[in-house]
Structure 1
Amino acid sequence: MKATIWHNPNCGTSRKTLAILQETDGVEVEVVEYLKTPPSAAKLAQLYRDAGMTPQQGLRLRGTDAAERRLPQADDAAVLAAMAAEPILIERPLVETAKGVRLCRPQDKVLEIL
């Protein structure tokens, strides 16, 4: 099974999620450091749709100016555009497999899609 993780190596939860993926037999891991290679707004929309969540639920509030910019109250298009332009606004880690997408906070949520 292929698993793609949108990863931030400076994030402990992201590192723990990556470790779970790497330690699971039969999982081929693709690591995307999203701060270096941000997903497009369209890709983010697909990820959140497949995860059953809104873009606003995928906003990283801690350590960002998202609240001051009123992004939690903004429409989907504005949130997705902001995330694509400034990937620090994306809460991490997102993991995608053939079984679905999860925002892996806590890291054990990844087990739902393995």
Structure 2
Amino acid sequence: MKATIWHNPACGTSRKTLAILQETSGVELTVVEYLKNPYAADTLRQLFAAAGLTAREALRLRGTDAQERGLYAASENAIIAAMAANPAYVERPIVKTEKGVRLCRPQDLVREIL
């Protein structure tokens, strides 16, 4: 099974999710360090739609200035544009497999798509 994780190595939950993927037999893993390789707006739209999330639900408030910038109250398009410009605004980690997409907080949510 192919799996892609949008990963932040500084995040404990992201590291734990990555470990689950690495320890799962038969997973062909792609790791995207999204802070180095930011999301395209269209990719974010596709991932959120597949995960059943709004951009607001995937907006990372903790450790960012998103709240101060008024992003939580902004439109879906404005939030996605801000996320594409500053990928730290995206909650992490996001994992995609052929079984679906999950925002893996907590990390055990990744098991639903393995």
TM range (shorter): over 0.9
Identity over the aligned pairs, expressed in percent?
68
Aligned partner of residue 3 in structure 1, secondary structure: strand
Stretches of 4+ moved more than 4 A in 1?
none
Aligned equivalent of 1:22: 22
> Pairwise mapping of residues 77-92 of structure 1 onto structure 2 (< 5 A)?
77-92=77-92
Aligned partner of residue 108 in structure 1, secondary structure: helix
Aligned equivalent of 1:5: 5
How far has the Cα of 1:39 moved from its partner?
A: 1.1
Return 5+ residue gaps in structure 1 as ranges.
none
Aligned partner of residue 39 in structure 1, secondary structure: coil
Equivalent residue letter for 1:79: I
Distance in 1 of aligned mates of 2:101 and 2:70: 26
Distance in 1 of aligned mates of 2:32 and 2:110: 16
CA RMSD of aligned residues (A): 0.5
Q: How many residues align?
A: 114
Equivalent residue letter for 1:41: A
Aligned equivalent of 1:74: 74
Aligned partner of residue 58 in structure 1, secondary structure: coil
Q: Taking structure 2 as the reference length, what is the TM-score of the superposition?
A: 0.98
Distance in 1 of aligned mates of 2:57 and 2:11: 18
TM-superposition CA deviations, 1:70-95 (whole Å, max 9, x none): 11111111000000000111110000
> Pairwise mapping of residues 43-82 of structure 1 onto structure 2 (< 5 A)?
43-82=43-82
Return 5+ residue gaps in structure 2 as ranges.
none
